[in-house]
Amino acid sequence: MSKRAIQFQLGIGACLGCLFLILYAIPHWISSPSNIRNIVLSPRFWPSIVAGLTGLVGLGLLVVSRSTPHESGLANTPIDAPRAGLIRLAGLAGLMVATFWLLPRLGMVWVSIPAFLALAFLARTRHPKTALVCAVAVPMLLYGFFAHVAGIAIPQGDYVRLP
């Protein structure tokens, strides 16, 4: 299968997923009280944002697939180290176990930082500096928004507490 066909199929799938979420799943499966003053705090707001972004990514894939040249097919090259995938999968499982064990002890923000970094390097990121910046900035910004703007408590640990 060519790269163009893969991008086209992924784009169609993302657009169909977006339509399913917006037209059926969110209205039927997520209940929302009518007296919410701030739309950002509505239970339907963020799923709608994710669905809309999924649709935009799908449209982007469709546009890119139109400009991608035709190929005869992807080369069927053998995998260099078939055990490497299993080792990375075991590493991911260990990372998940460690994350859930550490969450009540250290809190969501402090556990998210090394978990994000470990996952980025486990997936062999080509942008380690960006991964480091995002690993620190995203949990801190999300904590700041939810704790101080939205007034929603983020789970804190037993040892370290954020203001």
| pLDDT tens digits, one per residue of 32-65 | 888 888 888 889 999 999 999 999 999 999 999 9
Residue 13 scores a pLDDT above 60: yes
Q: Record the tokens describing residue 157, joined without a space.
A: 């640990």
Rounded to whole angstroms, the Cα distance separating 15 from 63 reads 12
Q: Record the tokens describing residue 85, joined without a space.
A: 């995938």
Rounded to whole angstroms, the Cα distance separating 103 from 156 reads 8
Q: Record the tokens describing residue 146, joined without a space.
A: 């939810």
Identify the band that residue 85 occupies on the pLDDT scale cut at 50, 70 and 90.
confident
- CA dihedral (11, 15, 16, 18) in degrees, to 10, reads 140
Q: For 89-104, how does the pLDDT look when each residue is reduced to its tens digit (9 = 90+)?
A: 999 999 999 999 999 8
Model pTM above 0.75? no
Residue 149 scores a pLDDT above 90: no
The size of the chain, in residues, is 163
Identity of residue 142: L
Mean pLDDT of 97-116: 93
Q: Which residues on adjacent β-strands are paired with residue 156?
A: 107
